[in-house]
């Protein structure tokens, strides 16, 4: 896919939890030279034990940070995504994640509060009861305080914008930390003017 994007000058953004992105570092570096790519590494915490509980099949925080540093070393615009922020579980790591990413050359930062759509909510509740039974009620109480009293708000325009005192405190922490570290909230503007259809046999044209 990245080869096609490079061939056609098609801009692409990538958000990943995997250091395996470095397998395509040559393509990403070439896309970056042409202002066609930006990459975000999602990091939940810097605690490897907690990360194994949350994301047992994902790369460790150390590997994600190393990938971020390698991408920046190849001049690929690279960002950190603090996600998901879980109240009373991972929120203590917010500033430390941003600091570690900035130290490795991240250009900017974004964040996503925990979201529990559909079947995810009962799975998360079961996970809490298993691993953090003493905090389960507190975590879900905060979650519901940000989602209008529910586990999840699916409404377009609000599902990505948690409300309430707790959400405002997290926003303030992120705003202060990113300003202190010089991390931008905006992603780079990629070049959308040079796209051309791929020159391949059998490629259909849009009419």
CATH of residue 7: 3.80.30.30
What would the two tokens of residue 105 be?
């050359």
Percent with pLDDT over 70 in the chain = 96
In a domain, 156, yes or no: no
pLDDT tier at 160, thresholds 50, 70, 90: confident
For the chain, the domain total comes to: 1
Q: In the chain, count of helices (H) and strands (E)?
A: 8, 4
CB 21 within 8 A of CB 39: yes
pLDDT for residue 158: 84
SS3 content of the chain, % helix, strand, coil (to 5): 45, 15, 40
User: Is 152 contained in some domain?
Assistant: no
Evaluate whether residue 198 is within a structural domain. no
Whose CA is closest to 184, among 172, 193, 175?
175
Token duo for residue 87: 């109240």
Structural domain includes residue 77: yes
Q: Say what the pLDDT of residue 180 is.
A: 97
> Assign residue 15 a region: left if phi > 0, alpha if psi is -120 to 50, beta otherwise?
beta
Tokens standing for residue 43: 């990091």
pLDDT, position 106:
97
Range of the domain at 85: 2-115+162-181
pLDDT at 138: 97
Token readout for 98 is 């941003």
Q: What is the pTM of this model?
A: 0.91
């Amino acid at each position: 896919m990245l080869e096609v994007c490079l061939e056609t000058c098609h801009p692409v953004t990538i958000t990943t939890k995997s250091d395996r992105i470095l397998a395509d570092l040559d393509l990403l570096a070439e896309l970056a030279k042409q202002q066609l790519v930006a990459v975000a590494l999602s990091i939940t915490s810097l605690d490897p034990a907690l990360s194994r509980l949350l994301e047992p099949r994902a790369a460790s925080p150390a590997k994600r940070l190393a990938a971020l540093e390698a991408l920046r070393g190849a001049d690929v615009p690279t960002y950190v995504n603090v996600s998901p922020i879980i109240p009373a579980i991972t929120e203590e790591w917010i500033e430390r994640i941003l600091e570690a990413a900035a130290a490795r050359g991240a250009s900017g930062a974004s964040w996503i509060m925990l979201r529990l759509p559909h079947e995810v909510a009962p799975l998360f509740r079961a996970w809490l009861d298993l691993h953090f039974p003493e905090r389960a009620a507190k975590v879900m109480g905060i979650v519901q305080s940000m989602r209008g009293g529910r586990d999840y708000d699916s409404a377009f325009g609000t599902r990505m914008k948690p409300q309430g005192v707790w959400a405002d405190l997290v926003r303030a922490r992120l705003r202060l930390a990113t300003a202190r570290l010089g991390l931008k909230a905006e992603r780079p503007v990629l070049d959308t003017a040079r796209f051309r259809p791929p020159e391949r046999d059998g490629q259909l044209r849009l009419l």
